[in-house]
Amino acid sequence: MAALTADSFAAEAARLAGGALLQPFAIAVSGGADSLALMALAAESFAGHAQVLSVDHGLRAESAAECAMVASLAAGLGLRHETLTPSLPPGGDMQARARAARYVAMADWCLRNGTALLMTAHHADDQAETLLMRLARGSGLGGLSGVRATGRIDGIMLLRPLLSWRRAELAAIVAARGWTPVDDPSNRDPRFDRTQARRLLAETPWLNPDRLAASAQHLAEAEAALAWAAERAFATRHQWHPPALLLDPEGLPAELRRRLLADGLRAFGHEADGPALARLLVRLEAGSSGTLGPVLASRTAGAWLLRPAPKRRRT
């Protein structure tokens, strides 16, 4: 990949987004070095189109001042800025809840303001950390594909044009402007998986983040190929016999059998998680039956029969 400049950034962003960058778009800026570099590059490359969004969860006393700092820097670049203050949903993992709340709040802002694209500052080091974390969790191919360069949330296009560049390159852009980025202590908190993955990368020279990021890209391409094959398998191997659905898994490799079953469940409006889907697949392969969500699945003459599960009687 070429060195990170405004021109190389603009070329990569345009490649990923197509014509979407000709319209106003939003960029997520927390005040850390990564997102400040994204803001500087976007201002230089797409002047007049970028709107800066910061999110203040109110979890740290410094967060309001940090958002104000981002607003000041954005104004110096001629960019509009807005701070969003979503509340956190209840639950356990605070980082996961905060991340989900940020995306929901920014996507909602984009929908309300007629903005079709949201850009974030994920980079190659983030990708390497994500791959290590998901390897440790035993993730499948979809999870090991890591952070995707493009995606969608509530109809808003997500764009991550910095995945080919390293954290140090982004920090150099910020340092060259004389900016002091936010130092979030949670980035050093050993309780979090990402912090441990980051430390492992820093202490293990043969774990090269560029190569790990390249592996994630290869896995993403393999995932896309499997998704293409699974779509065609479902198209030719399902028959509706209302209200039942018949699936023919005969001769398919194991992964395509799994995806065929997942697509069958989706046809009934149910998105199965990995472990639950695996348990149902084992039962079907053994010639047994099982219920998952609103679906009762059974095996008949080598095929899988999916139908609405009987409603439970109230006692």
| pLDDT at res. 187 | 73
| pLDDT at res. 188 | 78
**Per-residue pLDDT averaged across 246-274, rounded?**
96
Sequence-separated (6 or more) residues with CB below 8 Å from residue 12: 161, 162, 164
Q: Which two tokens stand for residue 20?
A: 């979407």
Q: Which two tokens stand for residue 264?
A: 């069958």
Mean pLDDT, the chain, whole residue set = 92
Biggest CA-to-CA distance, the chain = 71
**Per-residue pLDDT averaged across 66-86, rounded?**
96
- pTM confidence score: 0.87
CA atoms within 13 A of residue 123's CA, in its CB half-sphere:
20
| pLDDT at res. 274 | 87
Q: For 88-143, how does the pLDDT look when each residue is reduced to its tens digit (9 = 90+)? A: 777 667 778 888 899 999 999 999 999 999 999 999 999 999 999 999 998 889 99
Chain length of the chain: 315
| pLDDT at res. 146 | 93
Sequence-separated (6 or more) residues with CB below 8 Å from residue 33: 167, 170, 171, 174, 181
Q: Which two tokens stand for residue 247?
A: 């699936």
Whether 266 has a pLDDT exceeding 90, the answer reads yes
**Per-residue pLDDT averaged across 169-191, rounded?**
89
Q: To which H or E segment does residue 144 belong?
A: helix 141-144
CA atoms within 13 A of residue 49's CA, in its CB half-sphere:
18
* Cβ atoms within 10 Å of 21's Cβ, excluding its own: 21
Beta carbons of 29 and 35 less than 8 angstroms apart? yes
Q: In which band, very low, low, confident or very high, does the pLDDT at 315 lie, cut at 50, 70 and 90?
A: low
Bridge partners of 239, per DSSP, are: 246
Choose the weakest-confidence range: 39-48, 110-119, 178-187, 193-202: 178-187
Whether 1 has a pLDDT exceeding 90, the answer reads no
Long-range CB contact pairs, 43-48, < 8 A, 24+:
43/77, 43/78, 43/79, 44/6, 45/6, 45/7, 45/9, 45/10, 45/13, 46/10, 46/13, 46/21, 47/78, 48/78
Q: For 17-74, how does the pLDDT look when each residue is reduced to its tens digit (9 = 90+)? A: 987 777 899 999 999 999 999 999 999 999 889 999 999 988 788 899 999 999 999 9
CA atoms within 13 A of residue 179's CA, in its CB half-sphere:
26
| pLDDT at res. 92 | 67
CA dihedral 155, 157, 163, 169 (to 10 degrees): -130
